[in-house]
């Protein structure tokens, strides 16, 4: 930084005798030197800060599990502080915005997702909104390999998952997911047709499940009615009748209609 400051002071003293083009070149060189200096600071994080984090983790007190033993605390690995990359100084190296077609030195979408859209054209409620991995797979009918293995792999933004404290939630850019779905399915019409077919298949499966449960319910009702009708009871026989040809006697239950046939000695 001292070298940059000295260069700036010397450039101010000598700037009176320079042309406009020379002063513009000096200003570009100064900005480039500052950007390179900031980039070196990002690549070389403060070692003392990381060592302090690791030292606190090693001296953390054990955690009582409540089951008669103590758990060792989790070790914290040193990590570099998250920082945005340095802006691109030269216009020739700057990306061109896909919406306004202007060149820009830096933007959040470009730094995070490598998506060439400037901050002025960023639409957080539309194409540039974030979509979770599970939602991206279900809405656009994609697989894990489509997001991770198909070149180029889609970048994601990791955030703490409120439904799973031990895991991170991966967020993707909706515009990039839509482009990947078109690469996989070929066209929006084919993707829409596949959605309709899968929705119809789910509806047929739901109807079959409903019909199966109704059949099981009818079987249970009929079985309970049969059990109640044919439950064991004491017969109430009426008067006996004599069959002279067979020399047998019979009598009928007045409740269930059971006929008892017997002989007399």
Query: Is position 140 within any domain?
Result: no
Distance of alpha carbon 244 from alpha carbon 248, whole angstroms: 7
Q: How many domains does the chain have?
A: 1
Query: Is position 107 within any domain?
Result: yes
Query: Is position 203 within any domain?
Result: no
ω into residue 188 within 30 of 0, thus cis?
Answer: no
Which tokens is 201 given? 């298949």
The radius of gyration of the chain from alpha carbons, rounded to an integer in Å, stands at 41
**pLDDT on residue 39:** 59
Better-scored residue on pLDDT, 154 or 48: 154
Distance of alpha carbon 241 from alpha carbon 202, whole angstroms: 65
Query: Is position 1 within any domain?
Result: no
Helices marked H in the chain: 2-14, 20-43, 47-58, 108-113, 133-140, 144-148, 174-185, 188-229
104 is in which domain, residue-wise?
A: 90-122
Query: Is position 117 within any domain?
Result: yes
In this model, does residue 135 exceed pLDDT 60? yes
For the chain, give the mean pLDDT: 77
Query: Is position 238 within any domain?
Result: no
Query: Is position 243 within any domain?
Result: no
In this model, does residue 169 exceed pLDDT 80? yes
Split at pLDDT 50, 70, 90, the class of 74 is very low
Query: Is position 59 within any domain?
Result: no
Read off the pLDDT of residues 171-203 as tens digits, 9 standing for 90 and up: 999 999 999 999 999 999 999 999 999 999 999
- Asked if residue 251 lies in contact with residue 239, where contact means CB atoms within 8 angstroms, the answer is yes
- Asked if residue 28 lies in contact with residue 89, where contact means CB atoms within 8 angstroms, the answer is yes
Distance of alpha carbon 231 from alpha carbon 145, whole angstroms: 62
Split at pLDDT 50, 70, 90, the class of 59 is low
| Most trustworthy range by pLDDT among 56-65, 76-85, 107-116 | 107-116
């Amino acid at each position: 930084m001292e070298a940059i400051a000295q260069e700036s002071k010397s450039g101010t003293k000598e700037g009176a005798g320079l042309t406009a083009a020379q002063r513009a070149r000096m200003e570009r060189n100064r900005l480039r030197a500052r950007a390179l200096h900031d980039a070196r600071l990002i690549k070389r994080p403060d070692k003392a800060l990381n060592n302090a984090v690791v030292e606190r983790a090693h001296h953390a007190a054990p955690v009582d599990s409540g089951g008669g033993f103590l758990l060792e605390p989790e070790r914290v690995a040193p990590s570099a502080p998250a920082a945005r990359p340095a802006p691109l100084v030269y216009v020739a190296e700057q990306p061109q915005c896909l919406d306004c077609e202007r060149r820009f030195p830096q933007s959040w979408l470009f730094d995070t997702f490598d998506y060439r859209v400037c901050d002025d054209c960023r639409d957080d409620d539309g194409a540039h909104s974030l979509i979770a991995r599970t939602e991206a797979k279900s809405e656009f009918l994609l697989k894990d390999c489509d997001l991770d293995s198909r070149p180029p792999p889609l970048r994601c933004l990791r955030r703490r998952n409120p439904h799973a404290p031990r895991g991170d939630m991966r967020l993707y850019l909706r515009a990039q997911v839509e482009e990947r779905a078109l690469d996989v399915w070929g066209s929006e019409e084919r993707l829409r047709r596949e959605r309709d077919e899968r929705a119809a298949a789910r509806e047929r499966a739901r109807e079959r499940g409903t019909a199966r449960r109704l059949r099981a319910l009818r079987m249970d009702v009929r079985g309970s009615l049969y059990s109640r009708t044919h439950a064991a009871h004491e017969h109430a026989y009426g008067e006996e009748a004599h069959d002279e040809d067979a020399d047998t006697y019979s009598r009928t239950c007045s409740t269930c209609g059971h006929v008892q046939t017997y002989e007399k000695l």
